Structure 1
Amino acid sequence: MHQLLIVDDQPDLVDDLAEMIPWEQLDIVKVHKAYSAREALEIITVHPISVMITDIRMPGDSGLDLIEQVRASWEKIRCILLTGYDDFDYAKRALQNQVTDYLLKPCEDEEVLGAVTKALKSIEDEWKSIASYQNAMQSIKLNQPALRNHLLMELLEGRRVSFEELDERLELLELPLRQEVPYSLMLIRLEDYFDRYRGNDVPLMEYAIFNMAEELFVDTFHIWQIKDKHGYLIFLIQPKPGAGSTELDWKDKAENKASRLQHSVKQFLKGTISVLLSRWGPFPQQVKKLYDESVIQFRQHIGSDRELLLTLAEQPEPEARSVNSLTHLYDPPMLVHLIEAGQWEALDEKMDAIFNELEQKWSHSHEHILETYFMIVSAFSYSIHKSKRWIQELLGEEYKKLVNGPQFHTIQQLRDWSMSILQVYKQSMDAETKDSRSSLVRQVQDYVYHHLSEASLQSIAAHVFLNPSYLSKVYKLETGEGISDYLFRLKMEQATYKLRNTNEKVYEIAEGLGYMKTSYFIKLFKDKFGLTPQEYRDKLA
């Protein structure tokens, strides 16, 4: 996915090169045309150009002048000269500016294609070198900047460091940042593709992105980087002398480079990232405040959005937003009951409903994502412990994620993790030889799940071929809850759900739950909740 720029003051030649050569064979998705050096620079400023083909002699700045300007600000762009002048001085100056190829007019399409292929190959080789597995491994082993990380983390966490102490530590660590000079924070979020990496592969990918960012920013900005506790890659950037004199200059250059970084990560690492640039302020003032603002804003975009490029200005007062609770998370059957009963298909359907609602209605609400996480973990933990297991033994390495708390950057990440731990539990239950009491409890709960309206101690006992009295004792010993209490609890939960969410009459609800006398159902309901069913419904309305 490259972009090509052709520059010549002869429009016919530019059009022929742009339209007659099959650039798509080289994975070139866009060909830009410019008829002067000025037009070319305007295009390069806006678009991520990979290769530029230019004539030498043009009105105004020559092609060689143009290449010098490109080299000064966009050194990654490969430049090819296409000219009718076979002049030694031109060739010498072209070599000085690291021109990839020097083609003489007229030349065949194959020559032009070959030159561009060679230029693209050099780009690919360079990025592979920067982001290669071996280089990343060496960076981790040999160049781990532990002291730099420690100092930056101190600033992000709000530790006060005196002017003199900070100057000394910056000098000691060979960090060229200057106090009172403006800076900005750049946060990077790795997205779904990178979730497939495990173990040592994760820091390798992160180091590859660190290296790419440094390559792109280093000509204009001093850059200081770290990974924070939330899993974001944090960069403190400060303009170098000559990088512009206004915040608008720095902001435009930082945004342009951030966009090129997204493009490069997608092209060479095959993954996507979102980038957020904070407000600007004098270093090191308000580092913690800018960092906290940035993290909060990033979390507002924690849903399904991908490849974001966000820039923060002064923060306005937040507008009041309508808020409501999640529905499917609390509708019966509850998560904990489905897990207890081993109703895996029903559990999959409920999880789909929960996450579909989260995506559709609350994809930008970090609070609703946290609410979902804690409910799932609570139901999972309760069920694991009730089945007399240890979570750590069941989950292994995944237990660390649970202990460290939610660090999910997208809803899909939470969904994948939740389904994976539930799958581990299911496989454990399927593989483990069950003792008779545990098996009996599951049979009872399975029967009740499918026959709640007619279920009773007698009907359940008949189903499992046991004496009702013995069944009741075994069930209570295993679960801590009698069968009658269990049936009553489930029926009351179903009743409250129908009163809240359906228009069924009270007598219809009673009949549906197996109560032949509506008055008896009303009495039981009032004893449980202190209200009659109709009073309960009216209160909700």
Structure 2
Amino acid sequence: MIEILLVDDESYVTESLAQTIPWRELQVEQVYQADSAAKALGLLEEQSVDIVVTDIRMPVTDGLRLIEEIAKRWPHIRCILLTGHSDFEYAKRAIQLQAFDYILKPVNDEEFIASLSNAIESLKDEWSETEKYHQLLHNRKADFTVLRSSLMHDLLLGRKLLNKTITEKMEQYEIRLKVDEPAVMILVQMGNHFRAMDHNSAALMEYAVGNIAEEVFGGEFDVWHGKAPHDCLAIIAQMKEAYHQSIRMRKDYEAARRALLEQHAHVLQKHVSNYLKGGISLAITGWFAFPEELPGAYRAGLGAMLLQSDDERSIAFLEDRASAPGSGEAHIKSLECLYKPPTLIHLLESKQWEAARAKIGDVFAQLEQARASREHLYELFLSVTNAFMYMAHKQGHFIAEIDQAGMDFLLDRSIVHSIDKLRTWSLGMLEKLEKELSANDKFTKSYIVKQVQEIVSSELGQDVSVKTIADRVYLHPVYLSKIYKAETGESLGDYIIRMRMERAHYLLKSTNKKIYEITLELGYQNPQYFSKMFKKFYGMTPNEFRD
């Protein structure tokens, strides 16, 4: 509701307006009166006034100075000036001060009501835009969580994107990491206290751990955290330029860098224990080139987690493991076939199922000829699951939907007990993946149409357009429009209009809502434009239809 302040040193003017104008019909809840600029400013400091109507000629402080002060202190207030015929120069000055309108005295009620109605509509438009802006900010932040998670999954699982594309996405999602700069990754395994929680509570705890990590590491590092595909939390960190410059010339640079990571890792565990009442174990990778070497660092970190003890507060540095006897190059070369192009991910993406089967068979044949260690089996398992998860993720599936047993290797490690068991599992998973995704091809377009229709029906009052919907379903607007038209015979733009008009038809027929209320509810900002669209669709204006 609107609150108005009337200001005139001749009190009979404000009294007359207060008594004769149909304020309630204009949705004005409160009318205040003042006979001087000083009293008006005092009222404005105490009350939530939306519109000020003031005379220009007043003693001590005139109306122009009053609205100038209002513009400085309360820029949201609309100001209307009352002026005589001889005060035209004042009126010009009022326009310069961005007064909303001016009315000649003696005041004509109809003219006054028209001016006031315009001011009220202007306020409502502003409030609507502000509310819309805040809603967009809220949606943007909510969408960022999903978009950041999707990007992290793609990169961890080995999807190849141009560095320019990655940079653009990180800028859009407000991720502060830099392409082609060294990074380190910390994988967090949640302890038994968290695993006993239901899915939503566990997800909330993971998010809390990520936020704590940002606070702990944030002084010296830029941090990006998110849920990793293999049931753990991934924290990717890059040293901030200022801190890096302060230590890079030190002789003990690498030792200082490690000591800082270790110190922060212990603080992270301590804070999680104190605030969330649970334990976490950490695996910290070596430094790698981001994002090129991220998938390899992720696989190495997962391998370290597999080899960790059951101590919920352990911290494992991969550089210690890499320097141990029997690790390193020999380990990588034994799986050379796995990483030789075309990669397993590429074969799955292009639906070359037989070639993918042959590649997996070649890798196992190579392992049988060599003396396969437990680390070999872990790395093979992680590489294959990465490829499977990436493919399922790309098609909008969780891997557990395809393999009911799931792939929680951090809890069930029996799959990697032998070459035969791992081969059987890998080929079986590939067969399930092929069956699911091949069958899914024919449903993909209808699924997209279903998604679009759900978005439109649930968000008619928001900024629903072909572009915003295309962004939500990760398709180009032109391609989405073609799919929708081909599947339904109706253009997506026409469908959005039809849904809005059908909703308007219902609201006009079944409710007492005013036209401007329905206009806003349907996401239109201009009642005249809404009326034009309604008439084009139904052959009559909303008022004619309601009558």
TM-score range, shorter chain: 0.3 to 0.5
Compute the TM-score of the two structures, normalised by the length of structure 1.
0.34
